[in-house]
Amino acid sequence: MKSGLHFLIAARQCEIDELDQLARTSELVGLIGRLVHALQRERGMSNVFLASRGRRFADQRDPQIAECQALEQAVRNGFDQLETEARQRASAGNSARLFSRIAWVLPGLDALPALRGRIGALELAPAEATAAFAKLVAGLLAVVFEAADGATDPEISRLLVAMFNFMQGKEFAGQERAFGAATLALGRSNEAQRVQWLHLIESQERCFHVFTDFSSDEVLALWRESEADATMAELERLRRVGTTLAAPAASPDAQYSQLSQNWFDCCTRRIDAMRTVEDRLAADLRALCNRKTAQARTDLEAYQQLLGTLAPQSGGALFFDDAGTQAVAPASYGRVLERSVLDMVQEQSQRLQAMSDELQTVRASLNERKVVERAKGLLMAHRRLSEDEAHKMLRQTAMNQKRRLVDVAESMLAMADYLPMPDARAPR
C-alpha cells in the first residue's frame, strides 16, 4: 500500500513526463517553423516563376525545393517519434487533437511533389499555387497551435503562444507579399482588393500584438531590430501606392513591373529578418524546457531522499491537528519530518492549482482563433461548404461589414440556434 509521500512523488513524476513531452513537442515546433519558412520562400519563388512564365527563379527553385525536402523529412521524423513515444509513455491530454492535426497535414506534404510538378510545367496560375502553399502552411501552423493549446506548463505555454502568433503573423506577411506583388504588377486595384489588402495588414498586426504581449524584453528588442527602419518605410510607401492605385492601366507597363519587384524584395527582406526572431524563440523554448525539467528532477530527488528517511505510513499522526483535535504524540524528529511532508503536499497542491489557473489565462489568448474555427465548422455543417469556402465566406462578411473576423464569427455562433440544419446527420 502506497503512502502519501509516494503519491507526492508520483505527481512530480507526472509533471516530469509532461515536461519531457513538451520538450519534444517544442523541438518539433522549432522544426516546423523552419519548414514553414522554407515553404514560404518556395511559394514566393513559385509565384514569380509562374508569373514570369518560367523566366525568373528557374535556377533558384531546385535548391529551395531541396531545402524544403530536407526539412520536411526532419518534421516527418519528428511526427513519427512523437507518436512512437506517446504509445510507450505517458501522453499529454491533447495528444488526440495534436495527432488529428498531423493527420490533416500529412496528405498535404504527400501532395507536394505533384504540386511542384505542375508548377514546373507552368500548369497553374500564380494565385492557385499560392493558395495551395497557403493551405499547407495553415495545416502546419494548426499543429503548432495545438501544441500551444495543449501545453501543461504556463511558462512554456506562454512561449508557444508567442511563437504561434509570430509564425501566423509572418504567414500573413507572406500572403501579403504575394497579394501585393500580383496587385502592383497589374497596375490597378479595386475596392475589394484594397479591403483584402488592409485585412491582411490588420491580421498580421493582431498576431504580432499577441506575440508582443507574451514575449520577453530581449525578444522584443530583437524584433524591433529585425524590422529595419528603411525596409519598413519602403514597405509602408509601397502599401500606400498599392492600395491607392486608381486608374486601371491599359496594359501594365515596366513601371508597375518594377514596383512589383521592389515590393517583393522589400517584403522578402522583412520576412527573412523575422527568421532571427523565430530562431531566438525556438532557442528560448528549448532552454526553458531544459531548465524546467532539471528543476523538476532535482525536486523529485529531494522527495525520494525524504521518502527513504520516513517510516512507511507516517505523516498521518498530524493530519487532524488542525481539525480541532489535540496532538496525538509529543514533538519529535519524526514529527517534524511528518509536518514537512504535509506542508510539501499542500505546497504542491497549491502550486499545481496556481499553474492551472495561469494556464487558463494564457490559453484564453487562443480563444479568438477557436471562435473562428467554430464558426467555420458551423457554416460547413449548415451550408455544406468546404473549409476554404466557409473561411472565404466569413472573411467576405467581415470585409463587407468592416468588422473583425472574430466579431463576425462570434455573431454567427450567437445566432447558431436560428440557423436551419439542412443536414440530417447530426454530429456525433
H-helix segments, 151-228: 154-186, 191-213, 217-226
Cell numbers for 65 = 525545393
Answer yes or no whether residue 87 interacts with a copy of itself by CB under 8 A: yes
> Can you tell me the distance from the alpha carbon of 164 to that of 172, in angstroms, rounded to the nearest whole number?
12
At residue 324, what is the residue type?
A: G
Answer yes or no whether residue 69 interacts with a copy of itself by CB under 8 A: no
Answer yes or no whether residue 12 interacts with a copy of itself by CB under 8 A: yes
Q: Which is nearer to a copy of itself, 248 or 316 (CB)?
A: 316
Q: Which is nearer to a copy of itself, 245 or 393 (CB)?
A: 393
Answer yes or no whether residue 298 interacts with a copy of itself by CB under 8 A: no
Which one of 58, 122, 354, 415 is in contact with a copy of itself (CB under 8 A)? 354
Stretch that binds a copy of itself, among 54-62, 213-221, 266-274, 352-360 (CB under 8 A): 352-360
CB 249 within 8 A of CB 256: yes
> Can you tell me the distance from the alpha carbon of 108 to that of 129, in angstroms, rounded to the nearest whole number?
13
Stretch that binds a copy of itself, among 54-62, 132-140, 184-192, 234-242 (CB under 8 A): 132-140
Cell numbers for 250 = 491599359
For the bound state, the minimum distance from the C-beta of residue 76 to a copy of itself, rounded and expressed in Å, comes to 5
Answer yes or no whether residue 107 interacts with a copy of itself by CB under 8 A: yes
Answer yes or no whether residue 97 interacts with a copy of itself by CB under 8 A: yes
Answer yes or no whether residue 320 interacts with a copy of itself by CB under 8 A: yes
Q: Which is nearer to a copy of itself, 235 or 359 (CB)?
A: 359
Stretch that binds a copy of itself, among 26-34, 35-43, 197-205, 354-362 (CB under 8 A): 354-362
Burial label for 356, CB within 10 Å (0-12, 13-18, 19+), is: exposed
The residue among 141, 142, 133 whose CA lies nearest residue 100 is: 142
Cell numbers for 43 = 511559394
Which one of 377, 382, 395, 403 is in contact with a copy of itself (CB under 8 A)? 377
Q: How many positions of this chain bind a copy of itself (CB under 8 A)?
A: 99
Cell numbers for 260 = 512589383
Residues between 381 and 400 with contacts to a copy of itself, criterion CB under 8 A: 386-389
Dihedral in degrees, nearest 10, Cα atoms 124, 130, 135, 139: 130
Answer yes or no whether residue 116 interacts with a copy of itself by CB under 8 A: no
For the bound state, the minimum distance from the C-beta of residue 314 to a copy of itself, rounded and expressed in Å, comes to 8
> DSSP state, 312?
T
Answer yes or no whether residue 96 interacts with a copy of itself by CB under 8 A: yes
Stretch that binds a copy of itself, among 130-138, 158-166, 167-175, 192-200 (CB under 8 A): 130-138
For the bound state, the minimum distance from the C-beta of residue 381 to a copy of itself, rounded and expressed in Å, comes to 8
Cell numbers for 422 = 439542412
The DSSP string of 207-274 is HHHHHHHTS-HHHHHHHHHHS-HHHHHHHHHHHHHHHH--SPPSS--HHHHHHHHHHHHHHHHHHHHH
Which one of 52, 62, 80, 122 is in contact with a copy of itself (CB under 8 A)? 80
Which one of 341, 362, 393, 398 is in contact with a copy of itself (CB under 8 A)? 341
Burial label for 350, CB within 10 Å (0-12, 13-18, 19+), is: exposed
Which one of 246, 250, 254, 323 is in contact with a copy of itself (CB under 8 A)? 323
With a CB cutoff of 8 Å and minimum separation 6, the contacts of 271 are: 40, 170, 173, 174, 177
Which one of 74, 186, 310, 345 is in contact with a copy of itself (CB under 8 A)? 345
Which one of 54, 67, 74, 94 is in contact with a copy of itself (CB under 8 A)? 94
> DSSP state, 322?
G
